[in-house]
Amino acid sequence: MADIYQEAAESIVNADRASSEEIAQRALDSGIAPADIMQNGFVKGIQEVGDLFESGEVFLPELMMSADAMAGATEVTNAALEGEAAEAKGIMVIGTVQGDVHDIGKAIVIAYLKANGYEVTDLGRDVSADTFIEKAKELSADVIGMSALLTTTMEEQKKVIKRIKDEGLSYKTVVGGAPCTQRWADQIGADAYAEDANDGVKKIDALLGK
Ligand code: B1M
């Protein structure tokens, strides 16, 4: 099993989308859970590319190609999770905050939420505070989820939460993304911080008493 995890990670490092999709499908066909191949294989690969990017060993165009390979793998594993959908537990809107285009993690979180019975609307990336609030109102959401991957865009989460409080709205809020922490969530008054997709489901279940 370790071999397929290794292959998965390598397909991301090699920025090979055809290969990442094929490996994802092969893993699912052999009975590996979507979360396992994602976390133990593909995510390891994108983290390695992130480290290489940070140390100047790969550049932005290569990082973008690896992200594309990651998107291919995510599509395959998420399609498998969609099939597990259960009865709706709550309504959620989720997006990547304004100024931020990182959406791979968000796609994984959405798939987990859907598979665990949430009705989720993906607001996409580079989502303004106005859009978060408008869409939550329009869809009568229970929860607003905000993903931020840049230290510079985390502040946008604070902006949305401030709007909710200033307008006396009652949406629950969840923040996530690599630079976020429980401490940050407490500081900005978010109802929950989720470290990963699994934790996201647990925290939202707890917030809504499910
Ligand atoms: Co960017 N990038 N990037 N990047 N990128 C990071 C984040 C960085 C850490 C890389 C580095 O320098 N080491 C760095 C940020 C530094 C910082 O702010 N401290 C960085 C930078 C600097 C940049 C640019 C500024 C580069 C440039 O232009 N010079 C630029 C910014 C663009 C912008 O957003 N305005 C940029 C661009 C890009 C790409 C477009 C090339 C691509 C994104 C493609 C895409 O997403 N469609 C990209 C990528 C791929 C990365 C890395 C390598 C990988 C991110 C990722 O997908 N991780 C990243 C380095 C790294 O993380 N090692 C990096 C895998 C994913 C599964 O994990 O997103 O953490 P993650 O999601 C997890 C949890 O965090 C959590 O659950 C997920 C699943 O477990 N989670 C939530 C996330 N959101 C949640 C929401 C929730 C709950 C949980 O509830 C609402």
- Over residues 57-81, the pLDDT tens digits come to 999 999 999 999 999 999 999 888 8
Q: How many domains does the chain have?
A: 2
The DSSP symbol for 188 reads: H
Indicate whether 48 and 104 sit together in one domain. Answer: no
Indicate whether 81 and 99 sit together in one domain. Answer: no
Model confidence, pTM: 0.93
Q: What is the spatial distance between Cα 10 and Cα 185, in angstroms, rounded to a whole number? A: 34
Q: Please report the atom of ligand 1 found closest to the CA of residue 196.
A: 77
For residue 118, how far is the Cα from the chain centroid? 15
How many angstroms separate the alpha carbon of residue 177 from the centre of ligand 1? 8
Confidence of residue 114 (pLDDT cuts 50, 70, 90): confident
Backbone angles phi, psi at 17, to 5 degrees: -65, -40
How many angstroms separate the alpha carbon of residue 63 from the centre of ligand 1? 10
CATH number at residue 137: 3.40.50.280
Tell me if 178 CB under 6 Å of ligand 1. yes
Tell me if 90 CB under 6 Å of ligand 1. no
Indicate whether 80 and 94 sit together in one domain. Answer: no
Full residue range of the structural domain in which residue 30 is found:
1-86
Indicate whether 139 and 69 sit together in one domain. Answer: no
Indicate whether 74 and 146 sit together in one domain. Answer: no
Indicate whether 78 and 95 sit together in one domain. Answer: no
